[in-house]
Amino acid sequence: MFNRRNFIKSTALMSLATLAGTNKLMAMPSLLNNIGIQLFSVPKMLSEDFEGGLNMLSSIGFKELELFGPYPFSDEKNIKQWAGAATMLGFSGSGYFGKSRDEVKSLMKKYGFKVPAMHTDMETLSIKMPELAEAANSLGAHYVVLPSIPDEKRQNLDGYKRVADEFNQIGAEANKYGIKFAYHNHGYGFHEIDGKIPMDIIFKETDPKLVYFEMDVFWTTAAGADPVALLEEHKGRYKLMHIKDMTEKKQFSGDGGDASQWFVLFPYMASAGEGVLDLPTILSTAKKNGVDHFFVEQDMVKEPKAALEKSYKYLKTV
């Protein structure tokens, strides 16, 4: 027999239970606490209005910045090479974007940013470590990161073995100054050369206490490698990560060893959550295996505020 009082009571209890479950779900923290941004996502904006760009990134919610070189103290050859490349790409700035280091520090404080990592070049890492370390320590950066291995150093397996030796030397020198060295992978190094995988050589022949890694999930996927498998196999080696999505699964036409193969894939870059990469699994695996810093990187993205905001909002739901 229908009992109106019991029905109302049951319905009320069910509503409360649903509301409690919803509130609990909403209260659950996101996987990533301090989402960062690699500044190569917005080089043109920062070149034109450095503080305005920082203000925009802060308004989205980003808490950490990863800088890219060259810097005023960088190797002169690299500064000259970069000037030509930057002009070709449509911007002029890098490093401190025309500001002094003290001005940069002041702006970081004003907008609530931390700078855990700085990208730089091989020559600066090799011969300018005192200057680089002084800058890193002043800005609070724990990691100095090599974004790519120069072409001439990775032509064969012997070249990769020499690179591994150089990485150990750079890592040891960085440690003397209280900072850490990391290598950011591009797409090369994941295809066999004479029956061996070059990245395996770098992992095996570098000291885990001296050489760390930054995974770029897009370029790793483009190389045909599995980000999750790499994170699990090399637990504790990856400490940083670049996040972007891929509109459809694409791989390099060759071994990913030259810039022409990279630029062809730029149109397939997407904001996080708007592509086919299994970012929830990749990110949770990264957290479990030692990655501490996560940076959105959408290289020179068009309409940066809208695109980066999409990535940020998605990552807050993971």
Q: What is the pLDDT of residues 6-46, one digit of tens each?
A: 444 454 444 444 444 445 434 456 789 899 999 999 999 99
| 18 within domain boundaries | no
Exposure string over 13-48, b if 16+ CB within 10 A, otherwise e: eeeeeeeeeeeeeeeeeebbeebbbbbbbbbbbbbe
Answer for the pair 260, 237: CB distance below 8 angstroms, yes or no.
no
Q: Determine the pLDDT at residue 107.
A: 98
Q: At 134, which CATH number?
A: 3.20.20.150
- Residue 317 has which token pair? 């739901």
pLDDT for residue 25 = 38
pLDDT, position 31: 86
Contact 214, 184 (CB under 8 A): yes
| Total tally of structural domains belonging to the chain | 1
The answer to whether position 287 is within a domain reads yes
In whole angstroms, give the CA distance from residue 134 to residue 194: 41
**Hey, what long-range contacts does 252-261 have (CB within 8 A, 24 or more apart)?**
252/187, 252/222, 252/223, 252/224, 255/187, 255/188, 255/190, 255/191, 256/186, 256/187, 256/188, 256/190, 256/191, 256/219, 256/222, 256/223, 257/151, 257/154, 257/187, 257/188, 258/151, 261/187
- As a whole number of angstroms, the distance between CA 52 and CA 205 comes to 44
Q: Classify 36 as helix, strand or coil.
A: strand
d(CA 231, CA 285) in angstroms, rounded, equals: 7
Q: What is the pLDDT of residue 1?
A: 45
Which element (helix H / strand E) includes 215? Answer: strand 211-216
Alpha-carbon distance of 88 to 85, in angstroms, equals: 5
pLDDT mean for each 10 residues of the chain (318 residues): 47 47 50 93 95 98 97 92 84 93 97 98 97 98 96 94 98 98 93 94 98 97 96 98 96 84 91 97 98 94 93 96
How far is residue 95's CA from residue 68's CA, in Å, rounded to a whole number?
A: 5
Residue 231 has a CB neighbour count (10 Å cut-off) of 27
Q: Which domain holds residue 222?
A: 33-315
Please indicate, yes or no, if residue 21 is contained in any of the structural domains. Answer: no
> Structure pTM?
0.89
| CA atoms of 304 and 302, how far apart (whole Å) | 5
Residue 8 forms part of a structural domain? no
> What is residue 7's predicted lDDT score, i.e. its pLDDT?
42
Number of other CB atoms surrounding residue 299 within 10 Å: 17
How many whole angstroms separate alpha carbon 139 and alpha carbon 99? Answer: 14
* pLDDT on residue 29: 62
What pLDDT score does 26 carry? 46
The answer to the question of residue 53 being in a domain is yes
Nearest-5° angle of CA 222, CA 204, CA 229?
40
